[in-house]
Amino acid sequence: MLEVQNLSKSFYGTKAVDDITFRVESGEILGFLGPNGAGKTTTMRMITGFLPPTAGAVSLDGVDMAARPLEAKRHLGYLPETLAIYPEMRVAEYVRYRAELCGVPKKEAAARVGEALAKCFVDDVAKKPIGNLSKGYRQRVGLAAALVHRPKVLVMDEPTIGLDPRQIVKVRELIRDLRKDHTILLSTHILPEVELVCDRILIIDRGKIVAQGTPETLRQEMSHQPGLVLALKGEIAEADAAFRQLPGVTHAARIGAGGETRVVLESDRGVDLREAAFREVVARGWTLLEMTPKQASLEDVFVRLVSREADLAAAAEAEARERATTAEIPKIAEDKP
């Protein structure tokens, strides 16, 4: 279990992370999502005890990071974004070194190393120097090193960055598989990854949490206008007008092409249009080819959230600037005799 409370970090007066609170239960994978520079890496570095927070607290499996860092770090496996592993060491040697560093008892070390290597599918390169491995292998070696002491909490910063598609699939499978033994926090800016891998999502932007929830609830919450997409046989000019009369429909648009008419309906939240739309089609004697609920993709959600925040911030900044200049004018006037 990982708990983060009111975590903040300032660099030279600039807030990189601003009052973040969340928790990850054991057996859960939390996806940490945000545009580049949103504060993901900084947050992770505070969680892992690499950077001290300006304010707030982190606890891993109930152990406070600031108060008892060595004990807290024993529960932590960390895969950093810059996967720097000593290139001159051999794979098994490095994982063994990490095991010793993390206090794995000597008697168990060999077995644990073997187990970690097998789990991450790197046992076939155990004797190779890390510097000779491809990025995908190195990523998995890093993961094996993070797992070797069986930490309760696993933190991964962009675990699939720089991998080829086949390797990405493999690493994702691996991460999903790890869920049963670990509490996992992973950061990414790849949206499909979050949907595929994570149980819950946390979106941060400019150091603040802007949304959190399961991929489904996020999508529902953020799709401002729920609605339907209908496909009707033939080109029907009056289709949009007909649907617009239905109760609850706020907007209807029609696109006719290739002997088909597509109608996009938007409704108020909580209104289910499906039945009314079907009856309307039947009553008019049209042929219904397709009916799909209109769903905002997570990508839409993300872009909307992040850009909205950016717009708001830009607006606030512009306003502040304006206020500053207007405030200065009388001052200058006063100074003159």
The residues of the shown chain that bind another protein, judged by CB under 8 A, are 45, 48-51, 69-71, 73-74, 76, 78, 80, 82, 84-86, 88-89, 97-98, 100-103, 106, 142, 145
* DSSP labels, 136-156: HHHHHHHHHHHHTT--SEEEE
Min CB(144)–another protein separation in Å = 13
Cβ atoms within 10 Å, residue 177? 10
Min CB(103)–another protein separation in Å = 6
Min CB(98)–another protein separation in Å = 7
The smaller minimum CB distance to another protein, of residues 100 and 115, is found at 100
The smaller minimum CB distance to another protein, of residues 141 and 171, is found at 141
The smaller minimum CB distance to another protein, of residues 152 and 254, is found at 152
Min CB(101)–another protein separation in Å = 5
Residue 229 and residue 239: Cα distance in Å, rounded?
A: 12
The smaller minimum CB distance to another protein, of residues 146 and 218, is found at 146
The smaller minimum CB distance to another protein, of residues 106 and 166, is found at 106
Residue 317 and residue 324: Cα distance in Å, rounded?
A: 10
> 47's torsion region: left (phi>0), alpha (psi -120 to 50) or beta?
alpha
The smaller minimum CB distance to another protein, of residues 39 and 142, is found at 142
Cα torsion 58, 62, 68, 69: sign: negative
The smaller minimum CB distance to another protein, of residues 101 and 310, is found at 101
Min CB(221)–another protein separation in Å = 34
b/e map of 61-70 (b: 16 or more CB within 10 Å)? bebebeeeee
How many residues are listed for the chain in this entry? 337
8 A C-beta contact, residue 171 and residue 160: yes
The smaller minimum CB distance to another protein, of residues 79 and 239, is found at 79
Cα torsion 169, 173, 179, 182: sign: negative
Min CB(278)–another protein separation in Å = 57
DSSP one-letter code for 76:
E
Tell the burial category of 182 from Cβ atoms under 10 Å away from its Cβ (0-12, 13-18, 19+): buried
Cβ atoms within 10 Å, residue 102? 18
Residue 75 and residue 93: Cα distance in Å, rounded?
A: 22
Query: What is the residue type of 89?
Result: M
Min CB(108)–another protein separation in Å = 12
Min CB(63)–another protein separation in Å = 11
The smaller minimum CB distance to another protein, of residues 148 and 301, is found at 148
8 A C-beta contact, residue 191 and residue 23: no
* DSSP labels, 179-190: TTT-EEEEEES-
Min CB(318)–another protein separation in Å = 32
